[in-house]
Structure 1
Amino acid sequence: MLHITQHDAITEIQMARPPVNALNLELLSALQEAFSQAVQDGARGIVLSGTQGMFSAGVDIPALLTRDRAEVRKYWREFFVTCGALAHLPIPIAAAITGHSPAGGAVLSLFCDYRVMAQGPYRIGLNEVQVGLIAPDCIQMALRRVVGAYRAERLLVSGALIDAENALACGFVDELVAIDQVTTRALHWLGETVALPSHAMLGTRLIARADLKTTFADIDALPIDTFVDAFFHPQTQASLQALVDRLKNKAK
């Protein structure tokens, strides 16, 4: 599910769950373990990447729709735990957004320090509204701190998936490069960052990201049950099932 590559002091963690790097429980757990292991092994920075054309399609909705409430709650708690793991990383992490990055894929990138996205016909965004989901405030906050409150509201309420150029224009991503250079540029940014005086860089980073750490200090204090209630709302279930049906027809 993951490919781990060492680039000197930087660890690249590449999601590799074909065909679209959908985030199931096993992949979320593997990501958490990989983050922890990288820090334990002395990495000074992390690159989180995907496969060419697809960073991550987000939550594995087809699988989740077959689960009962207890299993769905377990899944969403694990998703928030993964966000918390990113929020609490003591070293910088760059997202190498190697293609499309809707919903959960976009969320993971928001918890990174820097985002490099592939140029071309690729889209990113929190499209939860379009599939009947309500993005909780702990996730909305992650978008607000990147693009600002007004722009975040417009993107969230419409559930917009924006193209790479618009993502750069509104600050959702930090730079665009050719698809085969995405990981290279993420590594370059990290290399420059970790070359700074570490005490000052890490101390400043800790202050700058305090809002993320505070929000995800206690995962069980987050509105997980409220979110699960919304997941089982009839309109949400109908929207998600329609999405799954469209994906099945597209695959034929």
Structure 2
Amino acid sequence: MLNLTTHDAITEINMARPPVNALNVDLLRAVRDAVDDALNAGTRGIVLSGAQGLFSAGVDVPALLGRDRAGVREYWREFFLTCSKLALSPVPVVASITGHSPAGGAVLSLFCDYRVMAEGPFRIGLNEVQVGLVVPECIQMALRRVVGAYRAERLLVAGAMIESSQALACGFVDELAGLEQVTTRALHWMNGLLALPSHAMLNTRALARADLIAVWSDVDALPIDQFVDAYFHPETQAVLQQLVARLKKKD
């Protein structure tokens, strides 16, 4: 489910759940555990990567549709806990976006310090509206920090999926690289950061991320129940059922 690689002082957490790195409970927990293990081992930086051509397809919708309300709430709490783990990381985290990154995959990248994306016809975005989901304020806030309020509104309300070049232009990602060089560039950026005086860098980073940390420090204070209510709205359920039906036809 994960491939872990140590690059000197940096730990790469590579998501490896074929075929599309769909985020189920097990993968979400595995990522959190890997972050904890890396920190306990003294890592100074983390790179979160995916498969070539696909960082993560986001939420495992077929598995989620089979759950009752308690199960759905458990899932979203696990998802928010993973976002929180990245947001509150005491060391820098880089998202190595190795291809398409819709919805949940894009969300995880927002909590990283820096985003390197594969150049070419790869798309990224929070397309939740297109599948009937409401994007909660705590995630909207994370996108606003990255692209600004107006651009975030336009992207979120449309549920837009944008190509890598447009993502770079609007600040959604920080850098583009050839498909096979994405993680290399992520490591290069991290090494540059780690070459700085660590006390000054880490404390400045903590101050700069204080707004994100404040929102995400207590996951159980987030509006999970409100989000679950919206998930069970009839329109949302109908759109998600149609999505799963299309996925089954592709199989």
Could you say which TM-score interval applies, normalised by the shorter chain?
A: over 0.9
Alignment partner of 1:224 is 2:224: yes
Q: Deviations over 1:185-212 (max 9, x none)?
A: 0000000001100000000000011111
Partner in structure 2 of residue 74 of structure 1: 74
Matches within 5 A, 1:1-252: 1-251=1-251
SS in 1 for 2:94: strand
Q: Deviations over 1:96-151 (max 9, x none)?
A: 00000000000000000000000111100000000000000000000000000000
- Count of residue pairs brought into register by the alignment: 251
Q: Deviations over 1:57-101 (max 9, x none)?
A: 000000000100000000000100111111110000100000000
Runs of 4+ in 1 over 3 A off after TM superposition: none
How far apart, CA to CA, are the structure 1 residues paired with 2:51 and 2:222?
31
- The one-letter code sitting in structure 2 at the alignment partner of 1:99 is G
SS in 1 for 2:12: strand
**Following TM superposition, by how much is the alpha carbon of 1:248 offset from its aligned partner in structure 2, in angstroms?**
1.6
**Following TM superposition, by how much is the alpha carbon of 1:250 offset from its aligned partner in structure 2, in angstroms?**
2.2
SS in 2 for 1:56: coil
Q: Deviations over 1:231-251 (max 9, x none)?
A: 000000000111111122223
SS in 1 for 2:22: coil
How far apart, CA to CA, are the structure 1 residues paired with 2:59 and 2:44?
29
Q: Deviations over 1:158-216 (max 9, x none)?
A: 00000001000000000111000000000000000011000000000000111111001
- The one-letter code sitting in structure 1 at the alignment partner of 2:239 is S
- The one-letter code sitting in structure 2 at the alignment partner of 1:184 is T
TM-score when normalising by structure 2 = 0.99
How far apart, CA to CA, are the structure 1 residues paired with 2:162 and 2:239?
20
SS in 1 for 2:59: coil
RMSD: 0.5
SS in 1 for 2:211: helix
How far apart, CA to CA, are the structure 2 residues paired with 1:98 and 1:237?
30
Give structure 2 stretches of 5+ with no counterpart. Answer: none
How far apart, CA to CA, are the structure 2 residues paired with 1:62 and 1:207?
40
How far apart, CA to CA, are the structure 1 residues paired with 2:150 and 2:125?
15
How far apart, CA to CA, are the structure 2 residues paired with 1:127 and 1:27?
21
How far apart, CA to CA, are the structure 2 residues paired with 1:130 and 1:172?
19
- The one-letter code sitting in structure 2 at the alignment partner of 1:58 is G
Q: Percent identity?
A: 73
- The one-letter code sitting in structure 2 at the alignment partner of 1:220 is D
